[in-house]
Structure 1
């Protein structure tokens, strides 16, 4: 019976080649398979690079303190540079992504980020290092956000939430490379005389972190453009060519067997010949007006909560764990942090070594988060995006508050390291952006919400640095309370788009 129905639908599609189908139906026909998996892996490299570059500062800055003559005050500022650059450029990158395409924009931005990041490792002094790192940060906003939109637009509607959660899981899993690379490289004992400076392990580590951008950019050169972007530009034949290739690789058939010959054009194309300001207005103004402004505000608030917590505390995580496991003191977590602060090394003296247990705890925590993220990518189909967000925000919020009450080092390490789990919330929030906003506004919407999130990173890192050594308990109350608030706000998100899958049930069997 079911097979007869499928054959009937196939016959109808093949008999009437002039009949037009919408793009979601066409993506369902193309299916999910090796094509999607291949490019999901490639696009995940950009997200991993966007993690390694800023988070790697937690290991690079303490090791470079002496060579670059960096005070602790300057260190806090330098640690904020990646997020400052992302905030400044998220808006223009979002504009370019929506008007010039996903593929080429992310390739050019990533190659630039990789080259500038590698160049920064050869800078002889603090000023030149800061300048190159700032230029690098101006290129990170695109690869840090676009892959979510890209992956969502390359897969069928019914699998979109799963694939976005999966790529987020790959990004979170990739974060384990930050402490592992540092553990492998920083203990090396070598110096190469470059005249103005000595090339030391921390410089090699900076090169390794930045090289991921270049690898991702090179691998995507022969990849596809987003079919949704192509369709939004009126390029129907190019869209069909991408769909035929996707169908052929996923179904192991000839591209000519793709049964859909014509697509419905459902969204207005962007006139790329208009002026920059006019096009920018077309891209951004609708997001600040009903019906999208409330969703833009909600998604941006949720992103702010994620990044303020993850990156706010994460930059200081290795140093805090190092104090705990190096025997800086006993008592509650904040008592240990306060005692460690009183025993800080003199200004100008370097700390080139980090306790091995700090590397192990950090790597194990990131690895565990990666495993949980992969499991989440499977169960999200059953629990839904909204419930996942509520659970993640509220659970980590409670853990942050509990840090003020534990005195056992292991419990403290577990609660503090669990903050990385907040990364699980990024994909569902971006999935809502893909669901809520139309194609021609989607890249800008994701870019702007990520921009607000990265602004949270700047605020969070400076707030954490200012409070940890003065009013430590308030630090965890503030971050924990903000997460619980975000969990409550998540309840106002719309229903998942999964109910629309029913409309696709027959067409997906073609």
Structure 2
């Protein structure tokens, strides 16, 4: 395990308190094996699923509400693009800082704070009457999503022994695909209505306002469920030398998974001879000193991440994440718009996607040239086809997780990364020549499905290569790179599209080829 390479966390005054944390990490893995996989993990995964839906909503909900809110908020095309991008700007601002603080102060704290804060700002965005209020709330949603996401992923994986960790990680990653299906279905059910409510002229609510109100229930549910049912990660507690608390959590986990009484736990005296008095000593110190001590310890723990070989792994994985998220989110976020173009520009002949996109961009230039100030804003809500196709893509995105979850331990993450990269390269290159609605939906579905597997494998490799004290920070840093890739690719896509339809698709293909090449140099297994 990578946990065996943990550095010393702090110097302890007494000799009998000088514990070697890597040995404790070996012991906790054995305890996890004794606990097995059962109801505790099922409950943990169910709660993380609620959190994933809440997180996906931060970026996905905007794409669905834009047609309904366009006239209410007087949004131009540029403002729409900015509204789509603003959550990622918030994520960039907080990801690394949140990752460092999560490794220093614990996973559960930031999970509950993140989801609780997301609910507050989703409620504000749902109540917004102006574009400025909505975009500000979306910015803070992005900040708080980044705060909760890395901590939630790390918390789940740190409750698993190394024999089941990869399967659990892939299972959790598949929640993003399920979330897309649920969000598309809820959007279809809500946004197709025409709801209006006026509160004394002070607050005028339309369908898209109610849509955001209902969607905010996911984040508040995640906050409450994590707070009530999920304790802090035992692995994190060990790094803080809170052995007694970690052992008690393991015992509860054992009884829930096996149904056996506490006295049958195979390791009843685990760490009892190693209990330092760190908690009692900390309670006697000044809170400010304790905070500074935690910061110093946290900075000491991240040093190995910026030394070889970890720093090389971090650079390669971060660049891969930059490319993967750029390609994946361009395909995912632009699909509703492309689907609408296909719906209106499909002539029933053998015209392919690129010919339809070129016709659309030509018409757009003409419309801009001939526009008049007397034009009236007309609401054009999305048709049922957009939502149905989005649900189809979400369903297809589930399939690779079942395959990769079964073979990941036999084949390994590196071969799967290479295979997924080759498949994504071929599909991304060919999608521009699709000449029917069915072919376009199929190719986009396969492309996004395999792209999502690339993302989860890249993150799973990070979890494996980096030790507990730097794991959340490492995940946060690769997510920063990925979100920069998302922003860059989404800004560049319309510019490249204006040059000709083939230009962006060849560019995306080249990006996936680079990911495949980088995968060849990554380690096959952790040492």
TM-score greater than 0.5 by the shorter chain: yes
Paired position in structure 1 for 2:92: 87
Match of 1:114 among 102, 116, 119: 119
Helix, strand or coil: the match of 1:176?
helix
Match of 1:392 among 413, 420, 443: 420
Change (3 A) 1:69 1:301: same
Paired position in structure 2 for 1:410: 438
Paired position in structure 1 for 2:38: 33
Paired position in structure 2 for 1:254: 261
Helix, strand or coil: the match of 1:192?
strand
Paired position in structure 2 for 1:308: 326
1:55-114 CA distance string (max 9 Å, x none): 222111232111111110111111111111111100111012111111121111111012
State which drifts further: 431-440 or 285-294: 285-294
Are 1:460 and 2:465 counterparts? Answer: no
Match of 1:53 among 49, 58, 62: 58
Change (3 A) 1:144 1:62: farther
Change (3 A) 1:37 1:201: same
How far did 1:343 drift?
Answer: 4.1
Residue 146 of structure 1 contacts residue 447 of structure 1 at CA under 8 Å; is this kept in 2?
no
Q: For residues 479 and 441 of structure 2, what CA distance do their matches in structure 1 show?
A: 28
Are 1:290 and 2:308 counterparts? Answer: yes
Helix, strand or coil: the match of 1:407?
coil
Give the alignment of 1:281-430 within 5 angstroms: 281-282=299-300, 284-327=302-345, 329=347, 331-344=351-364, 349-421=377-449, 422-430=451-459
Q: For residues 346 and 379 of structure 2, what CA distance do their matches in structure 1 show?
A: 15
Change (3 A) 1:276 1:76: farther
Residue 398 of structure 1 contacts residue 484 of structure 1 at CA under 8 Å; is this kept in 2?
no
Residue 354 of structure 2 contacts residue 432 of structure 2 at CA under 8 Å; is this kept in 1?
yes
Paired position in structure 2 for 1:492: 521
How far did 1:376 drift?
Answer: 2.7
How far did 1:211 drift?
Answer: 2.4
Q: For residues 166 and 452 of structure 2, what CA distance do their matches in structure 1 show?
A: 15
How far did 1:328 drift?
Answer: 5.1
Q: For residues 79 and 48 of structure 1, what CA distance do their matches in structure 2 show?
A: 18
Paired position in structure 2 for 1:10: none
Helix, strand or coil: the match of 1:121?
helix
Q: For residues 454 and 519 of structure 2, what CA distance do their matches in structure 1 show?
A: 11
Helix, strand or coil: the match of 1:259?
coil
Q: For residues 332 and 194 of structure 2, what CA distance do their matches in structure 1 show?
A: 27
Residue 287 of structure 1 contacts residue 293 of structure 1 at CA under 8 Å; is this kept in 2?
yes
Residue 302 of structure 2 contacts residue 469 of structure 2 at CA under 8 Å; is this kept in 1?
no
Helix, strand or coil: the match of 1:349?
coil
Q: For residues 296 and 408 of structure 1, what CA distance do their matches in structure 2 show?
A: 41
Paired position in structure 2 for 1:133: 138
How far did 1:449 drift?
Answer: 0.9
How far did 1:217 drift?
Answer: 1.1
Q: For residues 30 and 272 of structure 1, what CA distance do their matches in structure 2 show?
A: 34
Paired position in structure 1 for 2:219: 213
Paired position in structure 2 for 1:103: 108
Q: For residues 130 and 144 of structure 2, what CA distance do their matches in structure 1 show?
A: 22
TM-score by length of 1: 0.88
Q: For residues 443 and 160 of structure 1, what CA distance do their matches in structure 2 show?
A: 16
How far did 1:283 drift?
Answer: 5.0
Unaligned runs of 5+ in 2: 1-22, 283-288
How far did 1:232 drift?
Answer: 0.6
Change (3 A) 1:193 1:426: same
Are 1:65 and 2:85 counterparts? Answer: no
Q: For residues 286 and 76 of structure 1, what CA distance do their matches in structure 2 show?
A: 39
Are 1:447 and 2:472 counterparts? Answer: no
